[in-house]
Chain A
């Protein structure tokens, strides 16, 4: 919340943000809250509206509904310029001019944003591209293009970095490198918003997660809050799993899982009810336990299995 006259705790907030293309709402009713200094993992399956949302945050695309505040100030076409001076971004595919070398591309950004040599050198070193600057960008690997894109976004020393799927097309080592880089930037006080359709990629770096599905926010909060939100399956070990499953399937979603029966969405009371019913029907029960659930399962649940 915004304190009276105090500093704003959020880097980005949106209220009822939405975008309609040709009568179809691709983003709807979005209330984003990106705290200052965090790594915000923006997750969602393909086509869920991540890029569209990020483009609205940068005022590249004009929202159909709602409003955006960045650093407490409204972000619109008329105000975008002063705010964009504090934001570095990389949206969809990496920028850069293929007919120019990495160095020439960096010089271009330097001229455009009136940066000094130090800022450029530091950005290039941060992404460890200094040995590849004299090659034309069209001859770069995808990973090198991504890193150059990040260097171009970093050179202006932004307070907010918006990166759309920066790990797209990278090998595991490259992904790990980006992960470490984001962590390092956040430690340096930069707020990072990073999107991905792979939870695994940003799970360990992100301190706050926002999960998008079909243009709507399905979840927003910390990793622990996300885990706490869902109820793991109940597993009942029994010598007669088939007979037990036939019985419980009348009231709860049931699946036979080896020597056990798996029941979804069961709370404590429901569990007790099922157990006493099975006992009454003369089915032996060797054990009842909750399944260990990964963040990935929760994400799959939320996005209806389209996630990963």
Chain B
């Protein structure tokens, strides 16, 4: 698909890469620093380290990071005559929307990769943990990337409609707070159909926090994956339908 390949060209020299590297590193460093300050003990080895890094990361920073990335990939379109050029070609609205979400998916995957590598490096070098990160967390990482998709699609839609960089990010912050509230009140079914709640839920897989059981179960993974894929499809289709009716200013 030409429109997706074209989107990736726009990432060259983009500020997005700074977000992709700095945000997860910040989470890793914060998690590690907390541990060192509180005596440097990881009671349960890799599991404790993962928990300290990923729980907070999944509550706010991740959603905000995805929102910032969505604002960044749309920002270039709001300049000069780019909107007119984008829609003045024979590329369909659906392809325009999919192109952006595809780019965001790759950026989210890169962000998760930085997080995992960061956790492994800190675990080995700072805490001298035995072995490597247990396998389930690699699976959880894939699920987290999938759970980023509905948020990415929703934020992409908001950034498409709003020229502002900050406003969609503020929406993500409110969404993340709402997601936390849903998870704290143990309304799992509701949390999973709200993109921000789903993202929080995915990062808690296997941690035993909030609604999680503490082990990575097939049922929990399947629920998150199915919800992520269906939500993404719905949001993408909705955004494309809106774009198709939109007057370009």
Contacts and interface: CB of A to CB of B under 8 A. Distances in A.
B43 interface: no
Contacts of A84: 88-90
A113 B2 contact: yes
B88 A87 contact: yes
B81 A112 contact: no
A112 B82 contact: no
B88 A91 contact: yes
Interface string B1-29: 01101100110111000000000000000
Contact of A60 (B82, B84, B245): B84
B10 A93 contact: no
A77 B244 contact: yes
Contacts of B80: 93-96, 98, 145
Given A104-B9, A114-B2, A82 B90 contact: yes
Interface string A216-228: 0000000000000
A24 to B, nearest CB: 15
A281 to B, nearest CB: 61
B81 A97 contact: no
Contacts of A114: 2
A85 interface: yes
- What band does the interface of chain A fall in when counting residues whose beta carbon is under 8 Å from B? 35 or more
Given A55-B248, A60-B247, A81 B81 contact: no
Interface in A112-167: 112-114, 145, 149, 152, 156
A91 B84 contact: yes
B90 A81 contact: yes
- What band does the interface of chain B fall in when counting residues whose beta carbon is under 8 Å from A? 20 to 34
Contact of A89 (B9, B84, B244): B84
Interface in B85-132: 85-92
Contacts of A111: 2, 5-6, 9
B3 to A, nearest CB: 6
B76 interface: yes
Nearest to B10: A97
Contacts of B89: 84, 112-113, 156
Contacts of B5: 111
B5 to A, nearest CB: 5
Interface of B: 2-3, 5-6, 9-10, 12-14, 76, 79-82, 84-92, 244-245, 247-248
16 contacts: A60-B87, A61-B247, A62-B245, A62-B247, A81-B91, A84-B89, A85-B90, A89-B84, A91-B85, A92-B84, A94-B81, A104-B12, A108-B10, A111-B6, A112-B89, A156-B89
What are the nearest 6 A-B pairs in CB distance? A95-B85, A91-B84, A85-B90, A60-B248, A84-B90, A112-B6
